[in-house]
Amino acid sequence: MANLDYEQKLNSKPYRFFDQVYRLLVLNVITILLSATLIGMFPAFVATTATLKQGNQMNVFKQFIKNFLHYFKKSFFVGLILFFVYAVNIYAFYFYATSVVEDVQDFDWTLLFVNAGFIVSIVMFVIITLLSVHLPLLIITFESLTVGETYRTSLYVSIRYIITTLILFVLQVLIIGSFIYCMVDPRFLAVWLLVGISLPVFLQVKFTTAVYYKLSQIDFEQIMYQVEDEEDESNE
């Protein structure tokens, strides 16, 4: 009888709600701590995504550490490439944004170049973010894909499921935007430290469940091999 009451308690909506809140709090804190090392930033995001996608399988801390170690190598290299691409784009944005053009005439090629570079850097930032929002979910769903294949698949998925991509993009911007807002209003920092990362990631997982179930039925690895074989044949 006692076991039955305990199971009913575990399955009750209030318990599941507060358990999920607890998991979000723990995951948020761990992700922030590991992100502070920079090396563990992207692997931490992947591990958080995997933990939320898997559900309540075990202790949330143990589950996170297990996922972090399991996906670390691949997610580290994927994140490293992403970091360098972002770094170059941010430098370009800063360069063009701070460029000062003196003695501007009615038409000046230098001014045109600076303005064009500034606009391109903004557009590239949006495109890079749109292509990157699927990376954590792809790493989890298709473990056999290489780093290069993961990026190629991300390009396909981002375009093929553009609505889902835009939703993920908004949630990704929410993570970055809320962090920036903390610098403007420190009072918001407490909220961000609690659920500023884990809650948007949780919503990303929920919004993409149907799409990634469909994608999981596709053998992307086999498709990649077919494409490579066709390219080799065409080169011959």
Q: Is the pLDDT of residue 208 over 60?
A: yes
What pLDDT, in 10s, does the model give residues 109-151?
Answer: 677 777 788 888 888 888 888 889 999 999 999 998 999 989 9
pLDDT score of 178: 87
The encoded tokens of residue 29 equal: 């804190």
Asked whether 46 and 82 are in contact (CB, 8 A), the reply is no
pLDDT > 90 in the chain, percent: 44
Asked whether 146 and 225 are in contact (CB, 8 A), the reply is no
The encoded tokens of residue 87 equal: 């770094």
* Dihedral sign from CA coordinates of 145, 23, 15, 1: positive
Buried b (16+ CB within 10 A) or exposed e, 193-228: eebbbbbbbbbbbeebeebbeebeeeebeeebeeee
Please give the model's pTM, rounded to 2 decimal places: 0.83
Average pLDDT of span 3-31: 77
Cα distance between residue 177 and residue 113, in whole Å: 29
pLDDT score of 235: 55
Q: Is the pLDDT of residue 5 over 60?
A: no
pLDDT score of 222: 64
CA atoms within 13 Å, Cβ hemisphere of 83: 13
pLDDT score of 224: 62
Average pLDDT of span 208-217: 89
Which residue in the block uniquely carries the two structure tokens 């391109």? 120
CA atoms within 13 Å, Cβ hemisphere of 127: 9
What pLDDT, in 10s, does the model give residues 143-163?
Answer: 989 999 899 899 989 999 999
Nearest by Cα to 78 from 149, 158, 160: 149
Classify residue 43 by burial, with Cβ atoms within 10 Å: 0-12, 13-18, 19+. buried
Mean pLDDT computed over every residue of the chain: 84
Which residue in the block uniquely carries the two structure tokens 């065409």? 234
Q: Is the pLDDT of residue 233 over 70?
A: no
Helix (H) or strand (E) holding 127: helix 109-132
Count of Cβ atoms closer than 10 Å to residue 130 Cβ: 19
The encoded tokens of residue 22 equal: 């607890």
What pLDDT, in 10s, does the model give residues 18-70?
Answer: 888 899 999 999 999 999 888 999 999 999 999 999 987 678 999 999 999 99
Position 137, amino acid: L
Q: What is the 3-state secondary structure (H, E, C) of 182-231?
A: HHHCHHHHHHHHHHCCHHHHHHHHHHCHHHHHHHCCCCHHHHHHHHHHHH
Q: Is the pLDDT of residue 12 over 80?
A: no
